Structure 1
């Protein structure tokens, strides 16, 4: 089967998010989004032991019109929201939230973050929601590492966790509003694997660390996103060094996108409505305990 060619190589750039240094792979001046994927942030931080975890991380804030998804690679994340959800997900787990009509949430380090040396590493991805579902009721899905099914490469050197969608007949537990595949990759040096992707899906890979070779492109270094063209059925990856990565594929929504801060809608007027509803408390109130 033919490998997909690469349409863009996106080196993550450092930005400031509420005093936290974040690597942003997209959007960039080069590319606005990879429909339906809107934004990718990679966070690596250390929480000093003199800071109360409930005062660190990201304070309560609203969302509407898309799904913020957090992949936990080190440490953990304590999620609280205005719908009463309150859970901690540790290394290897995922927090998946469909914000729908609006929700307030916070993402803090867990109370026991110092058991992990204060280290926290996350990837947050924003996934767009089609217009027909932007005002649905919010949903929250916490998934622990042990609950995520996986497959291994023939050489046993690559593990692929299936968070959402399907791969080789194995289905993930998250059923997103539109067709999505979400894979978390952990590979040892010299591991090689070919992944078959839906031909009508847009797809990208983000490499957190290590180094890999992609057929038809060559070497890819850490903190880089690779956007693929829709001109083949597979991608072939080879680990040059031990690595971790995510691969996302999704059926494009092909609708207008207007984003402002934590809201993603189709038209400017809907952004103004979201801001009004937030100020009026219609997205709920979150008081952290």
Structure 2
């Protein structure tokens, strides 16, 4: 029988400030999985009392960002005036549309103490009709996220919709971002609930697929989502993400995603020139900004 594992990609390191993250997407071999165009695995890391997580104001267009933490805390501010602390299990969902600026920093009350930080930062492309929409922001508390158990397997639907379960995160296209946990070896047959394209990331533990074992720091992409089944080898935490891909290719340069190259070029020019009509300042964080890179990063 032919394998259903289409790609096995190793996590690669990337720098954001003084912090190393494991970048899962994009890769040369695979630029997107469904509408998911960018996934960073942050940490786990221990920041000393003299270290902080500081990403100064920077712009986005044409995408939604999803921040989900396992440990630690990040304070989000954006050019729409939102200012909120994100804690483990909560979801920050920001839709950039035609343009937004935001910063992510260690909260003031934690800046002189050691801290752990661990989580995901994810970019999801927008349908073409929404790429130039007004920006928006939602913060979802952890007790609003659907959690359930089936046959000893724990599920959490962080975003999207699967059969009779739906996350309150206001996504813009058919997708899913699902956490699966087992405490002992379990067979998981979930392909009948999935659709579109699907990727798997094993955070802790290992899984067995078609007789082969796969562990952490690997991204697995299935050829056929409906055939997605696997076995966990004990205490395991993994994530399935994917959904319906867009008809049009999504172009990416730095923090900008769009299906129209001219819109990307205009965003580059506006950020270089600090055009406040396109990219307003972030209230409460007006002094700094991330300069446009000298070379392509993605």
The TM-score range, normalised by the shorter chain, is: 0.7 to 0.9
Q: Which residue does 1:128 correspond to in 2?
A: 125
After TM superposition, list the pairs within 5 Å mapping 1:56-205 onto structure 2: 56-113=53-110, 117-154=114-151, 156=152, 158-197=153-192, 200-205=195-200
Relative distance call for 1:177 and 1:271 in structure 2 (3 A) is same
Relative distance call for 1:121 and 1:270 in structure 2 (3 A) is same
User: What is the CA distance between 1:182 and its match in structure 2?
Assistant: 1.5
User: What is the CA distance between 1:180 and its match in structure 2?
Assistant: 1.1
1:284 aligns with 2:277: no
Contact persistence 1:4–1:235 (CA under 8 A):
no
Unaligned 5+ segments in structure 1 are none
Quick one: distance in 1 between partners of 2:69 and 2:192?
24
User: What is the CA distance between 1:62 and its match in structure 2?
Assistant: 0.6
Unaligned 5+ segments in structure 2 are 286-298
User: What is the CA distance between 1:193 and its match in structure 2?
Assistant: 2.5
- SS at the partner of 2:262? helix
User: What is the CA distance between 1:115 and its match in structure 2?
Assistant: 11
Contact persistence 2:81–2:283 (CA under 8 A):
no
List per-residue Cα deviations over 1:37-65 (Å, max 9, x = no partner).
Answer: 111111112221124x4xx3321111000
Contact persistence 1:204–1:227 (CA under 8 A):
yes
Quick one: distance in 1 between partners of 2:257 and 2:189?
34
Q: Which residue does 1:248 correspond to in 2?
A: 241
- SS at the partner of 1:165? strand
- SS at the partner of 1:272? helix
- More moved, 234-243 vs 172-181: 234-243
User: What is the CA distance between 1:252 and its match in structure 2?
Assistant: 0.8
Contact persistence 1:10–1:26 (CA under 8 A):
no
Alignment RMSD (CA, Å): 2.5
List per-residue Cα deviations over 1:81-101 (Å, max 9, x = no partner).
Answer: 110111112112221111111
Pick aligned residue for 1:220 from 190, 204, 214: 214
Quick one: distance in 2 between partners of 1:277 and 1:197?
45
Quick one: distance in 1 between partners of 2:113 and 2:4?
39
- SS at the partner of 1:120? strand
- SS at the partner of 1:274? helix
Relative distance call for 1:208 and 1:199 in structure 2 (3 A) is closer
Q: Which residue does 1:24 correspond to in 2?
A: 23
Quick one: distance in 1 between partners of 2:268 and 2:112?
39
Contact persistence 1:103–1:284 (CA under 8 A):
yes
Contact persistence 2:49–2:112 (CA under 8 A):
no
List per-residue Cα deviations over 1:114-158 (Å, max 9, x = no partner).
Answer: 89950000111211112211011112121222221112121x2x3
Q: Which residue does 1:6 correspond to in 2?
A: 5
Relative distance call for 1:10 and 1:164 in structure 2 (3 A) is same
